[in-house]
Structure formats: C-alpha cells, structure tokens
A and B are shown apart, each in its own frame.
Chain A
Amino acid sequence: MKKYSAFAIAREAFRQHTGWERAWARPEPKKKYDVIIVGAGGHGLATAYHLGKNYGITNVAVIEKGWLGGGNTGRNTTIIRSNYLQDSSAAIYEKARSLYETMSQDLNYNVMFSPRGVIMLAQTQSEIRGYQRTAHANALQGVKTEWISPQRVKELVPIMNIDGPRYPVLGGLYQARGGTARHDAVAWGYARACSDMGMDIIQQCEVTGVRTNLGKVVGVDTTKGPIDCDKLGMVVAGHASVLAQKAGFRLPIESVALQALVSEPIKPCMDVVVMANTVHGYMSQSDKGEMVIGGGTDGYNNYTQRGSFHHIEETVRALVETFPMIARLKMLRQWGGIVDVTGDRSPILSKTPVEGIFVNCGWGTGGFKAIPGSGWAMAELMAKGQSPLTEEFNMFRFREGKFIDESVAAGVAH
C-alpha cells in the first residue's frame, strides 16, 4: 500500500494524480476463509482489522450486501464520547474513544477525529443528579469528564440560550476529549487497511443462508455462491434479526428508524457537541459548517430507512429553543437509518447458540462512537473465545436479568 501524505499529494499533483491506487481491492470470493464477517459497516470492518492487526488472522472475508459503510456508519451524526455510567459501557466506549485518538495515524487515513468536547446538558434536578453520578463513576473508570456550571456551558457554547423559560440550563457533563469524526472515512480507512492486509472485502454480495453442521457453522450461502468458514461474525446492525433467523436462532432486538438532519453550511459558530436529553435533541457543527442534528427514535418496527416527520419537528423545536439562532437557518436534508435496539438499549457482543457464530449488534442509536472499541473487543472474542470488554454484553444476560442500563442516569444512548 502506498502511504498517504502531503508528499504523496505533491508527487501526484505533478502527474495528474494517475498514481493513486485503489483504496481497496475488488476480489471475487474464495472458496473458504478462516473468518467471515457479514456486514462491511464500521463495526464489521473494525472487527476484521483487529483480527488481522491484533491476532494475525488475515484469511478473512468481509461480505457486504450493498456498499461498504453504507448503513448506519454513513448515516449517523458522528458523535464520539465515552461518558457512560455503567462500567461495562464506559470500558468499551472509552477503549473506542482512545483508539479514535490515533486512528488517522494507525490507518494512514485521516478520519478527522476532532476532540472538540461534548456537553450533555442538565435541565432538570434529576438530570443534575444523574450526570453528577456519571461524573463520579467516570472518575473511577478512567474516563475524563467533569461537571460544569451553566456559566461554563455558556462560555463553551455562546450561541446557547441557557435561560429558556421552560428548561433553563442547570449545568452539564463535559467530556473535553469527546467530539466527532468523519464517518465515511472511518469505514474507508478500515477497508483500505483490511484490503492491504490481504483480506477480501466483497461488496454487492448478500448472504442468503447460513450453513451449519452438528451445531457448528461451516459457511454461508451468498448471491455470489457458497463460501466456507470456520468462524462467522454477524455485524449487520438493523438486519441482525433477519440474519440470525437464517442461522436458526433469534435475537432480543427490534429494528426502528432513527432520523437526523443537517442545516445549510454556515461559518463556524459552535465548537463543541451539545446533547440536550430533556428536550430530546443534539447538535454539532461539521467541518463543512452544517449544523448536524439528531433526536430520538421513531416508535415502530421499521426497515425502510425513512422516518416520520413529526419526530423531525420535535427535534427541531427542541433545538430552536436551546439555540435560538438556528431559527433562521434552513434544513438542507433529512434522512433515516435503521437501528437495532435491545431490551436494555445496550449492545450485544456475544457467542451465540451456534458454535463458531458470533454476533455484534444492538448498538441502537450509539454505534458510531464505539466502532474501534467494538472491533477490538469483537476480534478478541472471536480469536480467543472471550474478552473482558464483551463479557457483560453477552446475549444471555437478559435471561438472568443482568442488564446494562444507561438510561438510569438521565442519559441516552446516542
């Protein structure tokens, strides 16, 4: 793989950019792989990447029904933070956040990780208590966060109205090294690195069946023919139920639409990410200048990648109230993705009832920020059979009543 650098750019500039190679190859599937990952989104590609990088397992295929990075990886609002309450959540999200810090260098692909800070606003007494609890938990988890006053919130985000008549801002939980990254670049950077390690990324290839023998996986059937494997990782987010059904087991998840929108681009006016959970909205400004806005999920099972407009209304209303200056901006584009939500709204990274099949799903509305940590942990689970990072996230926890509930601290899982 030819390195990307300012020097490479300069070199290519003088030969009309003819020397740039394909970022990833376009292979036909082999007959057999050690590991097949289904789903070339961020989580699937990161899993493959860490299988190769951490465990030297490179006879890997990543199979994608559409185009790589085309699901929720390319549809989310790109927020990265790890200020979670529960230990197991904080561990995997902080692992992810710390990997984001060096991802551009590790992948030799600028994913534009921008640790610009994330503030979660407290607008009720119970949110104050919830976030102070999170701050205390984070202090013991090695996650750097702080509780900040309304005045400090205003200093960090001058465009915010902290004295709204309905929900004045009472403070916030601030993670200075949280931020955003360029979502497509994360998928592309991983894809390039995986391809460089000799892994096959096979796009436009749908898995139509999962083949097992005596309770153990032996391969998959695809629209490009059957492919054998020793281990199979299912990393398909909203379609996890559909794929699990092909393997003969069920998952405790439901798929619903999550919507987002952007404004037209304006000059920089907000340097941090703000989440206002009482009013259900969050906003950041992209490097292009668009205000990137999201809210809560739609209510019903849905696979259409379209949502209902009244949720957009609710979100915009909340943010116009919190940031009055956006009133005169315009909504440029709205879109939706399908997120998979579990019974405790925390993810599943787990062995399954079928030997050799591992599942990574249920990230709900919060998957992007977890991508590198999820890939790291999933690779460990698949390579070694266990991982301290995935331990609590097993799919059998619901049977024992051992939930990982983040909503308890007035938090949401975005």
Chain B
Amino acid sequence: MLTLHCPNCGVHADETDLHAEGEAHLKRFASGSSDDDFHDYMFQRQNPKGVHFERWKHVYGCGKYFLAARCTATLEVFGTYSAQTHEPPQAIKDAITAKRPGWSWGDFS
C-alpha cells in the first residue's frame, strides 16, 4: 500500500487515491518512424528490479499526473516530480544516487 507525494497539489496521497500509469519518460514515435522504434515505444519496458521511473495520476485528488522514482524491489520512493519533463530532475537523480550508487535506467544514470 504505497503512499506518494503529489507534487501538483502537495498532498501525501494514499495508493487508493492514485492510479498507476506505467513507465515514465517514454519517447513517442509517430507515423513514419521505424518498426523497431515504434515497437520499443509501445511494448519494450525497462521492468527493472530496482530503480524505476513511472507515471502516476492523482485520480481521486487533483486529477493531475506526476512522475515517481521508486525501487521495485523494496518499494522505497526516492522522490516525485512534475510530469511535464523529459528527464528526472537532478535532485531526484542525486537522491537515488545517495541510496543506490551506480544505478542506471534507460538513458539515465
């Protein structure tokens, strides 16, 4: 039963107020892109046992999406941040590095 801080409205939200929305920072590939790129965008997921970036929606709250950095092996939350970004803020990366030195995820580390 997770709790996550919603960076949009400031509420420390219970899992029952939230909806998990899958992997974060997917790069969309549109018409004309290669089969491989489109496949990876649609289906290839990091699915790590460890540090993970994911989307959440504060569905029974402010209704806004946000992103979370979380460990899938311990459920520790390293931080949450705005969904309107292409990569995790440095502060989040630093927070992860402090707890999980040497982490990497997709293009981030």
Q: Do any CB atoms of chain A lie under 8 A from CB atoms of chain B in the complex?
A: yes
A-to-B contact residues, CB < 8 Å: 239, 241-242, 250-255, 299-304, 308-310, 342-343, 398-399
Cβ contacts A to B, 29 pairs, < 8 Å? A241-B45, A241-B47, A241-B49, A250-B44, A252-B39, A252-B43, A252-B44, A252-B45, A253-B45, A253-B47, A254-B23, A255-B47, A255-B49, A255-B72, A300-B2, A300-B54, A300-B70, A301-B23, A301-B47, A301-B54, A303-B73, A304-B72, A304-B73, A304-B75, A308-B1, A309-B1, A310-B16, A342-B43, A399-B35
Chain B interfacial residues counted at CB < 8 A? 26
Q: Quick check: is B27 within 8 A (CB to CB) of the other chain?
A: no
B-to-A contact residues, CB < 8 Å: 1-2, 15-16, 19-20, 22-23, 35-36, 39, 42-49, 52, 54, 70, 72-75
Which residues of chain B are within 8 angstroms of A239 by Cβ–Cβ distance?
Answer: 49
Which residues of chain A are within 8 angstroms of B72 by Cβ–Cβ distance?
Answer: 255, 301-304
CB distance from B80 to the nearest CB of A (A): 13
How many residue-residue contacts, CB under 8 A, span A and B? 59
Chain A CB count within 10 A is highest, among B23, B44, B47, for B47
Compute how far the CA of A303 lies from the CA of B39 in the bound complex, rounded to whole angstroms: 25
Which residues of chain B are within 8 angstroms of A310 by Cβ–Cβ distance?
Answer: 1, 15-16
- Given A252-B44, A399-B39, the answer on whether A301 and B1 have CB atoms closer than 8 Å is no
Question: B38: nearest residue on chain A (CB-CB)?
Answer: A399
Given A254-B22, A303-B49, 15 more A-B residue pairs with CB atoms under 8 Å apart are A239-B49, A241-B46, A251-B47, A252-B44, A255-B47, A300-B54, A301-B54, A301-B72, A304-B72, A304-B73, A304-B74, A308-B15, A310-B15, A342-B43, A399-B39
CB distance from B103 to the nearest CB of A (A): 14
Which residues of chain B are within 8 angstroms of A398 by Cβ–Cβ distance?
Answer: 39, 42-43
A254 touches B45 (CB 8 A): yes
Question: A396: nearest residue on chain B (CB-CB)?
Answer: B39
Which residues of chain A are within 8 angstroms of B16 by Cβ–Cβ distance?
Answer: 310
A343 touches B43 (CB 8 A): yes
A241 touches B48 (CB 8 A): yes
Question: A298: nearest residue on chain B (CB-CB)?
Answer: B20
**Contact residue among A300, A309, A399 (Cβ-Cβ distance under 8 Å from B20):** A300
Compute how far the CA of A250 lies from the CA of B44 in the bound complex, rounded to whole angstroms: 7
Which residues of chain B are within 8 angstroms of A302 by Cβ–Cβ distance?
Answer: 72, 75
Which residues of chain B are within 8 angstroms of A241 by Cβ–Cβ distance?
Answer: 45-49
Compute how far the CA of A300 lies from the CA of B47 in the bound complex, rounded to whole angstroms: 10
Compute how far the CA of A303 lies from the CA of B35 in the bound complex, rounded to whole angstroms: 30
